[in-house]
């Protein structure tokens, strides 16, 4: 990564480059979740253009400037990892389960789990040496990293219901980003999870809330646990919500909905 790209990346999050400390890592994680949306609009857009792998960091920043793209775990965490390495942090990618890309950072003889690509409230890295701090929570959603027979397991609850299972990982099994390519290629096949829905999620903790768009349902989840949901009737309604609530008016959502329609998915019809 070019130094200028790293500078642009950090400035996009309204931060300045600092020394690689745990305090700076905390700032970066939180700012990333509040800047770059977890969304598959970019995945649909880029796949339609023939892209077969995540964009370079330079393209990632350019895409954010042009379209306000974020991405799913492959794009978000791979880009963030490259930034961390350029900033002087020691880290590497890991695979959770069979398909999720996350990050391990080693700092001051501690090992941290970092993840800006799971639409989860991991605003700060999780210290894998301290069980008491191995959880993150927002409203009625909680993430825990617990020990398991395979090393560690990522567990997620929403409204008291277990939502994520079988995401196990071993911090000793570092793999290169290139090894994720077969998994990524599977993820862009018709019928796969993020090729059959419309998804966008963004944190706004300054307003004590998180925003979620799933097909034509817009949900606001507040920090106190209160939730409101709205069913959107038209593409224009979806565009309006993305512009006014998410502040992501550049996202080419109309094109993404057209691509889903071509793939046989109607975002306005309940399954």
269 located within any domain: no
Return the pLDDT at 150.
Answer: 77
Report how far residue 146's alpha carbon sits from residue 154's, in angstroms, rounded to the nearest whole number.
Answer: 7
Return the pLDDT at 130.
Answer: 79
From residue 57, how far is each of 45, 79, 123, 155 by CA, in Å?
17, 5, 21, 29
Q: Which residues contact 61 (CB under 8 A, 6 or more apart)?
A: 5, 8, 9, 12
268 located within any domain: no
Please choose, from the candidates 227, 226, 229, the residue with its C-alpha nearest in 3D space to the C-alpha of residue 213. 229
Instruction: Specify the DSSP class assigned to residue 159.
Output: T
267 located within any domain: no
Domain range for residue 230?
A: 3-262
Total tally of structural domains belonging to the chain: 1
For the entire predicted model, the pTM comes to: 0.95
140 located within any domain: yes
103 located within any domain: yes
Report how far residue 163's alpha carbon sits from residue 57's, in angstroms, rounded to the nearest whole number.
Answer: 31
Return the pLDDT at 163.
Answer: 80
Tens of pLDDT along 116-148? 999 999 999 999 987 666 889 999 999 999 888
pLDDT, averaged in runs of 10, over the chain (271 residues): 92 97 98 98 95 94 98 97 97 93 95 96 92 83 88 90 82 86 94 96 97 98 95 98 98 97 93 58
Q: Kind and range of the H or E element at 83?
A: helix 73-86
Report how far residue 56's alpha carbon sits from residue 59's, in angstroms, rounded to the nearest whole number.
Answer: 5
Residue 159: alpha-carbon gap to chain centroid? 20
Return the pLDDT at 242.
Answer: 98
HSE-up of residue 16 (Cα within 13 Å, Cβ side): 1
Return the pLDDT at 161.
Answer: 86
146 located within any domain: yes
45 located within any domain: yes
Report how far residue 169's alpha carbon sits from residue 145's, in angstroms, rounded to the nearest whole number.
Answer: 10
Please choose, from the candidates 57, 1, 41, 97, the residue with its C-alpha nearest in 3D space to the C-alpha of residue 259. 41
Q: Are strands 209-214 and 217-222 parallel, antiparallel or unpaired?
A: antiparallel
Please choose, from the candidates 142, 175, 169, the residue with its C-alpha nearest in 3D space to the C-alpha of residue 158. 142
Report how far residue 194's alpha carbon sits from residue 131's, in angstroms, rounded to the nearest whole number.
Answer: 33
Report how far residue 82's alpha carbon sits from residue 252's, in angstroms, rounded to the nearest whole number.
Answer: 26
178 located within any domain: yes
Return the pLDDT at 151.
Answer: 87
> Position of tokens 């919500």?
241
CATH of residue 26: 3.30.2140.20
Report how far residue 76's alpha carbon sits from residue 70's, in angstroms, rounded to the nearest whole number.
Answer: 7
From residue 144, how far is each of 78, 92, 128, 152 by CA, in Å?
22, 20, 11, 10
């Amino acid at each position: 990564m070019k130094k200028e790209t790293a500078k642009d990346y950090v400035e996009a999050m309204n931060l300045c480059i600092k020394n690689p400390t745990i305090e700076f890592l905390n700032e970066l994680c939180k700012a990333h979740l509040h800047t770059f949306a977890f969304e598959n609009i970019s995945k649909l857009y880029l796949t339609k253009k023939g892209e077969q792998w995540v964009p370079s960091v330079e393209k990632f920043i350019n895409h954010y400037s042009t379209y306000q793209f974020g991405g799913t775990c492959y794009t978000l965490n791979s880009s963030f990892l490259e930034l961390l390495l350029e900033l002087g942090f020691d880290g590497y990618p890991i695979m959770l389960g069979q398909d999720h890309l996350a990050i391990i950072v080693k700092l001051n003889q501690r090992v941290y789990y970092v993840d800006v690509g799971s639409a989860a409230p991991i605003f700060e890295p999780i210290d894998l040496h301290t069980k008491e701090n191995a959880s993150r929570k927002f409203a009625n959603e909680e993430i825990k990293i617990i020990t398991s027979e395979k090393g560690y397991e990522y567990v997620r609850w929403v409204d008291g219901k277990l939502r994520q299972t079988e995401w196990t990982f071993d911090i000793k099994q570092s793999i290169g980003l290139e090894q994720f390519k077969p998994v990524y290629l599977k993820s862009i096949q018709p019928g796969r999870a993020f090729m059959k829905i419309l998804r966008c999620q963004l944190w706004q903790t300054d307003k004590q809330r998180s925003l979620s768009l799933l097909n034509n349902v817009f949900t606001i989840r507040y920090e106190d646990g209160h939730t409101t949901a709205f069913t959107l009737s038209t593409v224009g309604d979806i565009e309006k919500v993305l512009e006014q609530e998410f502040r992501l008016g550049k996202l080419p959502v109309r094109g993404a909905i057209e691509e889903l329609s071509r793939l046989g998915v109607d975002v306005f019809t309940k399954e």
